[in-house]
Amino acid sequence: MKLIINGEEHLFAQPPATLEALFAALSIPAARTAVELNGSVIEQHTLGATPLQDGDRVEIVSFVGGG
Amino acid sequence: MSEANIRIYINDSLHTVAAGTTLAQARARFCVGTATAILNTAVNPRPETVLHEHDRLYLFAHTGTYTDTDLSALMLERQPREATVKLRGACIGIAGAGGLGSVVAENLARAGIGRLVIADHDVVEPSNLNRQRYFLRQLGLPKTAALANTLRECCPFVQVDAVQETINADNCVRVFGSCAIVCECLDAAESKAALVTALRRQLPDVPIVAASGLAGCGSARSITVRTVSDKLYVVGDQHSDSAEGPGLFAGRVGIVASMQAHVIIQLLLEQQI
């Protein structure tokens, strides 16, 4: 499976079925991220119910603390 | 009108003077005593400089007292007038009034943004003063009220709506619904992510300028503006986390905040980010 993550192509031998599975595979804490899938904003609590397909574009903004 | 005359703006009022009039002659005619002259944003150009049609001349007499109209114009005379007019018509939301928000607010107020909606639930504490724009006399005051007072002292023409609330997914539309752009200036990573997600879903046409990665003493060169889309910009180095203990310093936090304010002004003036 090919995904475009933050503008870069990534190939997955074991395709993540959902955004939640993708986050687990990349070890990204979902609660600290803002996510867009093909331009649509996805709420954190729906990541497990959001399926991924070959060629999807995922934008992940990982926030760290400080302000 | 005779061709021997030209029209110039002096302190924003249109005046007719003879063609070939110099700065020195205009100064002698329109201002009593010493004054700083600003001609089309240049400070004190040579007295023999010849004025041209539609030049903008400000004569800043050193009297110490000004009418409101003069003060408003004089304070912003170093910015191009077209920019000032656009910025004056804008309303910007600022979520959080800490190290980022207090600096963003001051930068935007000084640029003449017409209205700022500033939301924060916190009060001013001594540990804030190493980087946040507050004063000893404001310890214990709500940050929004303290910041509104400070902005009134330096920029009395900016309308400040001080919202003493924790901003979140439930109230962000009520608080920021009238804003052209919202600046995310929160502290905790989870709060930042939740607010940006909520704003993008609930106010999809409103650009957000967020911040991530500003802690510690890492290189200022690592701080960039990430354009996620034309509705989401993230300023910072994207990884320096205050939760990991590197500390927060006025300079580096201020760089990120000033870049956030700059991106907002660029968006309002339709500049390339």
Mean pLDDT of chain A: 96
Chain B residue whose CA is closest to A60 = B228
The SS3 call for residue B97 is: coil
Query: Is B253's Cβ below 8 Å from some Cβ in A?
Result: yes
Give the model's pLDDT for residue B1: 47
- Domains of chain B plus CATH, in order, are 5-77 (3.10.20.30), 84-268 (3.40.50.720)
Q: What is the pTM of this model?
A: 0.86
Q: Is the ipTM of this complex over 0.90?
A: yes
Query: Is B112's Cβ below 8 Å from some Cβ in A?
Result: no
Residue A36 pLDDT > 90: yes
The SS3 call for residue B111 is: coil
Q: Nearest by CB to A64, which of B204, B239, B253?
A: B239
Q: How far is CA B115 from CA A9, B142, B152, B228, B239, in A?
A: 42, 19, 12, 26, 32
Q: How many other C-beta atoms are found inside a 10 Å radius of the C-beta of residue B3?
A: 6
Q: How many other C-beta atoms are found inside a 10 Å radius of the C-beta of residue B103?
A: 24
Structure tokens at A11: 């190939």
**What's the Rg (C-alpha) of chain A?**
11
The distance in angstroms from the start CA to the end CA of chain A is: 38
With a cut of 50, list the residues of chain B below it in pLDDT. Answer: 1
Query: Is A7's Cβ below 8 Å from some Cβ in B?
Result: no
Each residue's pLDDT tens digit, B24-77: 999 889 887 777 888 987 888 999 999 999 999 988 776 666 666 667 777 888
Structure tokens at B125: 């504490």
Give the model's pLDDT for residue B67: 66
Q: How far is CA B265 from CA A30, B253, B261, in A?
A: 31, 19, 6
Give the model's pLDDT for residue B69: 64
The verdict on a CB contact (< 8 Å) between A41 and B204 is yes
A17-22 long-range Cβ contacts below 8 angstroms, 24+ apart: A17/A51, A17/A52, A18/A47, A18/A48, A18/A49, A18/A50, A18/A51, A18/A52, A19/A47, A19/A48, A19/A50, A19/A52, A19/A58, A20/A47, A20/A48, A20/A50, A21/A52, A22/A52, A22/A58
| Nearest CA distance, A29 vs chain B (angstrom) | 10
Residue A12 pLDDT > 50: yes
Rounded mean pLDDT of A12-24? 97
The verdict on a CB contact (< 8 Å) between B241 and A67 is no
Give the model's pLDDT for residue B81: 86
Compute the distance between CA of residue A38 and CA of residue A34 in angstroms, rounded to an integer: 13
Give the model's pLDDT for residue B63: 63
* C-alpha B229: how far from chain center: 23
Torsion sign (Cα): A48, A53, A58, A64: positive
Query: Is B204's Cβ below 8 Å from some Cβ in A?
Result: yes
Q: If pLDDT is split at 50, 70 and 90, which confidence band does A39 have?
A: very high
Which residues, listed in sequence order, are joined to residue B117 by a DSSP beta bridge? B93, B161
Query: Is B143's Cβ below 8 Å from some Cβ in A?
Result: no
- Domains of chain A plus CATH, in order, are 2-62 (3.10.20.30)
